[in-house]
Chains A and B, each alone.
Chain A
Amino acid sequence: MISLLDIAERTHTGEKVDDKTWDMGLFQTISELVKRYDIKFPGDHTFINTDDSLVERAFAAGLECLERLGIFCLPTKRRVRLNRDEILTAIRDAPREILMGEGRDQRVWKQRKIEGKERLNVCPGLHTPYTEELAPLVVKNFAQIPRADFIEGFNFTKVDGREIIGPPLEVYASRRQLGWMREGVRKAGRPGLAVVYYPINTRAEDLICVMDPDYGLRRTDGILLSLLPDLKMEEDMLSAAIVYEEYGSFKLSGSFALAGGFCGGVEGAIVEGIAKPLAAMIAYRDTIHYTGVEHIHMLNARQILLPGVNWARSVVNQALNRFTHTNCMRWIIPTSGPGTELNLLEIAMQSLEAPINGMNLYAPRHCRTTVNHGQTPLEAEWMIEVSDAVIDEGIDRQGGNELLRRIAQRLEGKKPAQGYDLTDCYDLIYHKPRPEYERIYFQVKKQLNEIGLKLS
């Protein structure tokens, strides 16, 4: 695979491009590819793609997109060009499995098959900001979920009572995050569970300071080094990638495309959604990705559902599964907040798609998360429950479409619910939902049974 040092050189020798030229060039290139490869949303009731020839065309479009555009290095304003051979070699050499964690908590994180029959790998949380008072207890609660294969860190605004501002306090806070993560997994009885560092900030010092086999990030842990939307990369992330390649930690990327943005609509997002994890693998050596398509209006909680988004996500993940070793995760991002019926229904929809499209599961979290308001352990357990039921029932793409259509009917016309703070709907001391939330959970479970998904 092309060396990270080659990438580093190209961030300084590549063609100079200004931001607007890059953004509009991305839009024009992707629009042209969508037309030429005939990528078209078939219609409202399609949530999961069943057109295999479309998947082939989409993959070809994604490859060509990356070959023609390259990656944009934000600080140097240069295009990092990649030729087809380099891209194909990277696809060939990328690992299918990632070993993580230690001792009895060691896990193998695997690429899934479309309509696969194996239980999914799971990261139950966090990727959500918490106050430092709640931090260790929150980590413990999520790490107690038996199916957790790794757990991700979180952001926060104060450390030791001080507001976090500026690199020195960011570095201190970053190391505290890992300290709380390690403490939380120990308290949960899972000392070897892999933790993934969620960057407090994306400066190189914030990314690298947490390496510490005794109290921080072990070699068997991971770090989130994400490519930005619109195929943009950061030099500091690349610096961290170079260091972590030697250290040994695995790396994750947020590799979904944002429909409504510069990639265009859902069809354009398919093209970027395929190109982006490949770019992240090459630029940062990321081996696990949350993949697919989201929509600007859904991430802003303006709409619960938009036509074509589920379908586009499905095409991306099917393409990545069929033609690459990309390890795809479904980041479950409901538009409604925790503690609500709508939140659980949205999570059910997204969790149902995951095993059918060949994706593992990742950190259900409200799209407009704020401090202590984003997720509870119940949603993580719920996503596992739903996806397990899909696998146990042997639900295929056709069956999945029908179930999703029925759930979508219950969401149509509704606006996202605000939801509740974590401690308002979940008891972290006794690791259970509060009675009202539990009642809602059973109600939603009943609804899914009525819809046709057998949950115990």
Chain B
Amino acid sequence: MDPAYTPQAEKELLESLKAAIVEIDADRAKEAAQKIIAAGIDPRKAINYSIKKAADTVGQKFDCGDLFLAHLVMVGDLMDEVSAILEKNIPSDQLVKKRVIVIATVQGDVHSVGKNLVAVVLRAGGFEVHDMGVDVASSLIIQKAREVKADMIALSSLLTTTMPYQKEVIDDLASMGLRGRFRIMIGGGPVTREYAVKIGADGYGKDAFEAAEEAKKLLA
């Protein structure tokens, strides 16, 4: 680090990045990221502190109704942009790879609100999230998971009659000898933890926040 920067000055820079992300001020956030790099501050500190704390703060604000889904999308986009700036200054062998999650609403189901919420909260929580949208066949989900080397597959279902497609993904993975490669988490209106256990899923999220905590536990 530039010896001109005291610990206090470092803290202020890290806080300014965090604040800019929380306020969804892209210009200020990118500028703060550049300043952190120019100051010679370890960019991993910015990732582990500023971005992570910003995500926590934004999550709390969403939970109490101060921020909405679109804000989470914007924060997620901004976090990706800032991370890209910071990661350019981290040697590639020291880059901590984000855990990867593929998320989809299962075949036959076009409901997306819950899935969208989980996707943005997971992204804000530091995961790399590939959102496949709605009405996605098991084969396509598995194909995507293999392609992006996912760590977890998250499946949403809002209709009782589409819940069996969550089981289908698990069964298809098993028949392909791939079950052990991916953690499976399920959720959605009529879905319960008991059902998750019954079909052999690894985890269940009652809502977006529980899903994020569950993902962190499963991928720790």
Q: Which of A212-220, A260-268, A353-361, A420-428 contacts B (4 or more CB under 8 A)?
A: A260-268
Q: Which of B52-60, B96-104, B145-153, B156-164 contacts A (4 or more CB under 8 A)?
A: B156-164
Establish whether residues A23 and B108, one from each chain, have CB atoms under 8 Å apart when the complex forms.
Answer: no
* B200 lies within 8 A of chain A by Cβ: no
Q: How distant is A161 from chain B, measured CB to nearest CB, in Å?
A: 14
Determine how close the nearest CB of chain A comes to the CB of B119; give it in whole angstroms.
11
**A74 touching B110, Cβ below 8 Å:** yes
Shortest Cβ distance from A303 into B: residue: B65
Q: State in angstroms the CA–CA spacing of A132 and B69 once bound together.
A: 37
User: Known: A300-B207, A302-B207. Is A295-B65 also a contact (CB below 8 A)?
Assistant: yes
Partner of A129, one of B108, B113, B160: B160
Q: Does A455 contact B (CB under 8 A)?
A: no
Q: Is A156 an interface residue (CB 8 A)?
A: yes
- Across the interface, do B192 and A370 meet the contact criterion of CB distance under 8 Å? yes
**Is B5 on the interface with A (CB-CB < 8 A)?**
no
* Main DSSP-derived SS at the A contact region: loop
Does any Cβ of B come within 8 Å of A88's Cβ? no
Is residue B134 contacting chain A, with contact meaning CB distance below 8 A?
A: yes
Query: Which of the residues B63, B165, B189 comes within 8 Å of A297, measured between beta carbons?
Result: B63
What residues of A have a CB within 8 angstroms of the CB of B68 in the complex?
A: 27, 259-265, 268
A237 to chain B, nearest CB (A): 10
Q: How large is the interface on A (under 10, 10 to 19, 20 to 34, 35 or more residues)?
A: 35 or more
The contact string, 1 if C-beta is below 8 Å from chain B, for chain A 358-385, is: 0000000000111100000000000000
Whether, in the assembled complex, B38 has its beta carbon less than 8 Å from a beta carbon of chain A, the answer is: no
Q: Is the CB of B73 within 8 A of A306?
A: no
Query: Provided the pairs A296-B117, A297-B63 are in contact, do residues A262 and B70 lie with their beta carbons within 8 angstroms?
Result: yes
Whether A258 pairs with B113 at a CB distance below 8 angstroms is yes
Question: Looking at the complex, which of A7-15, A162-170, A402-410 is the stretch in contact with chain B?
Answer: A162-170
**Per a CB cutoff under 8 Å, which of B63, B69, B162, B206 touches A201?**
B162
Is A36 part of the binding interface, using a Cβ–Cβ cutoff of 8 Å?
Answer: no
Asked if B190 is at the interface (CB within 8 A of a chain A CB), the reply is: yes
Q: Does B111 contact A (CB under 8 A)?
A: yes
The interface of chain B, by Cβ under 8 A from chain A, is 62-63, 65, 68-70, 73-74, 108-113, 116-117, 133-134, 159-165, 168, 189-190, 192, 206-209
**A-B contact sample (14 more), CB < 8 A, given A24-B74, A27-B69, A302-B207:** A74-B134, A129-B190, A155-B190, A157-B160, A165-B165, A259-B68, A260-B65, A261-B69, A263-B68, A265-B68, A268-B68, A296-B113, A307-B65, A368-B206
